[in-house]
Amino acid sequence: MKLIVVGAEGRMGRMLIRAVAEAEGCTLHGAVERTGSSVLGKDAGLLAGIGELGVPVTDDPLPLFVAADGVLDFTAPAATVAFAELAAQARIVHVIGTTGFSEDDLERLKAASFHARLVRSGNMSLGVNLLAGLVRKVAATLGEEFDIEVLEMHHRMKVDAPSGTALLLGEAAAQGRDVALSDARVSTRDGHTGARRPGDIGFATLRGGTVVGDHSVIFAGPSERITLSHHAEDRAIFARGALKAAQWAFDQPPGLYSMDDVLGL
């Protein structure tokens, strides 16, 4: 499978270049960075620290997209929406790990999925997607006397909050309770907030250091508490999931898919 990595210089971009170069049946077809980036023209393999691959980083995605099978995209919302429109024109697979989308962005991704095969998830790891299933089940089993709080911590460079994973886990809890997350979500508390509303799903965000990604869903009930957690130790887990998603989507019709579809959960 001929794959392009966009956002090649990023933390995930460099990890993805390494993962594609090592994966059986995959080749790195291209590497893209934004116009003005200091790494344009540099070899993608050297950028990723694995030796020359003969793939220079470019800021011109279109010629690459038309001759590729898929694109791995962990960039930023505006960039991803533009790449999805190109993936739709080229009728290829677009694996989207980017987080922090607005409702309008999500509508545009949906439109692109009429022609492209899109797989989008706030977390591409096996562990988090399994955890989401557990959260859904526990939330469906426990009543509203158990308060649900989602706690996350990430490295100091992360730009969006709550994390895509926290929202994915919050969605799972809301599905378990058969409510809309938008009605139950409480993302900020400051000052005299009053008592907690029954049924709220709260989010708390910590940022600092080099933490790859820690998430806990706490079910706090009368005199007892259940905590379900995931700790990401290496970004390789996200890259592995993204590659699996690309290979799975290769045989699918156009559409918007999730990691549940990819993993058969």
Ligand X SMILES: O=C(O)C1=N[C@H](C(=O)O)C[C@H](O)C1
Q: From the list 2, 34, 185, 240, which residue makes contact with ligand NDP (rule: CB under 6 A)?
A: 34
Question: Which two structure tokens, joined as six digits, stand for 203?
Answer: 């989010």
Amino acid occupying residue 157: M
Instruction: Check binding of 18 to ligand X (CB under 6 A).
Output: no
Longest dimension (CA), the chain: 61
Instruction: Check binding of 129 to ligand NDP (CB under 6 A).
Output: no
Instruction: Check binding of 127 to ligand NDP (CB under 6 A).
Output: no
Q: From the list 10, 56, 127, 254, which residue makes contact with ligand NDP (rule: CB under 6 A)?
A: 10
Dihedral angle sign, alpha carbons of residues 254, 258, 259, 265: negative
Q: Residue 154: name its binding partner from ligand NDP, ligand X, none (Cβ under 5 to 8 Å by kind).
A: ligand X
| Angle formed by the axes of helices 126-141 and 236-249, nearest 10° | 90
Residue 233 assigned ligand-binding role: no
- Minimum CB separation of residue 147 from ligand NDP in Å reads 27
Identity of the residue, 29 or 235, whose beta carbon is nearer to ligand X in the bound complex:
235
Question: Which two structure tokens, joined as six digits, stand for 3?
Answer: 């794959």
Give the active site residue among 29, 94, 154, 230.
154
Instruction: Check binding of 13 to ligand X (CB under 6 A).
Output: no
Identity of the residue, 113 or 165, whose beta carbon is nearer to ligand X in the bound complex:
165
User: Which residue has the closest beta carbon to ligand X?
Assistant: 213
- Minimum CB separation of residue 86 from ligand NDP in Å reads 11
Q: Residue 79: name its binding partner from ligand NDP, ligand X, none (Cβ under 5 to 8 Å by kind).
A: ligand NDP
Instruction: Check binding of 216 to ligand NDP (CB under 6 A).
Output: no
Q: What is the DSSP string of 78-135?
A: HHHHHHHHHHHHHT-EEEE------HHHHHHHHHHTTTSEEEE-S---HHHHHHHHHH
**Do 219 and 147 touch, CB atoms closer than 8 A?**
yes
The stretch among 7-15, 47-55, 64-72, 183-191 that binds ligand NDP (CB under 6 A) is: 7-15
Q: Could you tell me which of 166, 160, 183, 256 has the C-alpha nearest to residue 217?
A: 166
User: Cα–Cα–Cα angle for 76, 35, 165, nearest 5°?
Assistant: 10
**Do 97 and 242 touch, CB atoms closer than 8 A?**
yes
Pairing outcome for strands 255-257 and 201-207? unpaired
Q: From the list 47, 124, 131, 161, which residue makes contact with ligand NDP (rule: CB under 6 A)?
A: 124
* 154 counts as catalytic: yes
Identity of the residue, 10 or 254, whose beta carbon is nearer to ligand X in the bound complex:
10
Instruction: Check binding of 170 to ligand X (CB under 6 A).
Output: no
Interface size with ligand NDP, residues (CB under 6 A): 25
Interface size with ligand X, residues (CB under 6 A): 10
Instruction: Check binding of 11 to ligand NDP (CB under 6 A).
Output: yes
Residues in the chain: 265
Residues taking part in catalysis: 154, 158
